[in-house]
Amino acid sequence: MTVNVGVIGVGMIGQDHIRRLTRVLSGARVSAVTDVDTGRAKSVGDGLPGEVRVHENGQDLITDDGVDAVVVTSWGPTHEEYVLASIAAGKQVFCEKPLATTREACERIVDAEVAAGRRLVMVGFMRRYDAGYRAMRDAVAAGDIGAPLMFHSAHRNPSVPPHYVSDMIINDTCVHDFEIARFLLDTEVVAARVLKPRQNSRASDHLTDPLLILLETASGALIDVEASINIGYGYDIRGEIVGESGTVELAESTPVVVKRDGRFGGRVPEDWRERFVRAYDAEFQEWLDAVAAGRSTGPSSWDGYAATVVCDAALEALRSGERVPVSLREKPDLY
């Protein structure tokens, strides 16, 4: 079966996902696109094979009979509306992170899915499909390093675009670290604190960069997340779990190490599209296969909700300088 996919928001990651749906993966075609920038939607649609409808808005795309499943790659604050509309239409929806930008919005999505009686939403937490993180999780689950005590995570972006506002360092960038910590340690976060080192002089005044976020978990393990969003040298994602009897950490992502003139070195990825290319491919292939088979898969609305609740607490901790407890509602049986 070929899944006809409609894409809402055809900016940077939307176009990258369209490329993989169209040229890399099997079992899909992009049948419709939309964007608030209608010129961009038309130009992306015109560049695709076959008949591609360019819709005026996301609601029209979702109810298009020629769309079997929806990809939401518009800006975070617009996700809730499109995810809710997809659930209402009974269509599977892949939503890029964050699921939604507030706890309340995520709760509305969870409630709608529970009322529908089946999982329809997959959230784009692609790190779960990265071979390195998977191997780390397997090592922990197999008991190779003993019970986890700490997870050190570093999230370094070379720079951020002009529309990047201050809260995004937490709810757009660190949301990945919070989410992968839950996946690796198989526990929930119970409190957050944020420390601010001296400001990076490369950062715009309206941004607080870097940050050090400390999370406590229900299992007693601690998580520290270093977020640097103007590090300049490249896109560098680091992670190490310290267990009672060993450690496991992500290897350098360079495919080769070059040694010459008394030195060795490798490539640092330019951005997330390069660093996580195989993870994005794997997450989308899994989603397409699940849609074709009429079943659900991947990070759920509950995972999206839990990650956003941690973001909310970290944002409050950033503003107040205090330790902020995190509490989740009761997990519905659906998840």
Q: Site for ligand NAI (CB under 6 A): which residue of 18, 62, 86, 97? A: 97
Can you tell me the distance from the alpha carbon of 265 to that of 252, in angstroms, rounded to the nearest whole number? 10
What kind and span of H or E run contains 34?
A: strand 28-34
What one-character DSSP code corresponds to residue 251? P
Q: State phi, psi for 48 to the nearest 5 degrees.
A: -100, 155
173 binds, among ligand NAI, ligand ISE, none (CB under 5 to 8 A by kind): ligand ISE
Bond before 148 cis per omega within 30 degrees: no
Q: How far is the CB of 49 from ligand NAI (least distance, A)?
A: 21
Tell me how many residues contact ligand NAI (CB under 6 A). 24
Let me know: does 133 contact 127? Beta carbons within 8 Å.
yes
Assess contact for 215 and 143: CB atoms under 8 A: no
Q: Which stretch binds ligand NAI (CB under 6 A): 8-16, 138-146, 236-244, 294-302?
A: 8-16
Which tokens go with 278?
């195989």
Mask for 116-155, x = binds ligand ISE (CB under 6 A): ----------------------------------------
Q: Which residues, numbered 159-178, are part of the site for ligand ISE (CB under 6 A)? A: 172-173, 176
Under 8 Å between Cβ of 269 and 235: yes
Name the residue with the smallest CB distance to ligand ISE.
173
Q: Does 253 bind ligand NAI (CB under 6 A)?
A: no
The residue among 37 and 244 lying less far from ligand NAI, judged by its C-beta, is: 37
96: amino acid identity, one letter: E
Q: State which of positions 189-208 bind ligand NAI (CB under 6 A).
A: none
- 257 contacts ligand NAI (rule: CB under 6 A): no
Between the CA atoms of 325, 329, 330 and 334, what dihedral angle is there, to the nearest 10 degrees? -130
**Of positions 34, 73, 74, 157, contacts ligand ISE by CB under 6 A:** 157
Verify cis geometry, omega within 30 degrees of 0, for the bond prior to 49. no
Residue 89 touches which member of ligand ISE, ligand NAI, none, C-beta under 5-8 Å by kind: none
- Pairing relationship of beta strands 53-54 and 28-34 according to DSSP bridges: parallel
| Contact residues: ligand NAI, CB under 6 A | 8-14, 34-37, 40, 58, 73-76, 78, 96-97, 124, 126, 172, 272
| Contact residues: ligand ISE, CB under 6 A | 157, 172-173, 176, 272
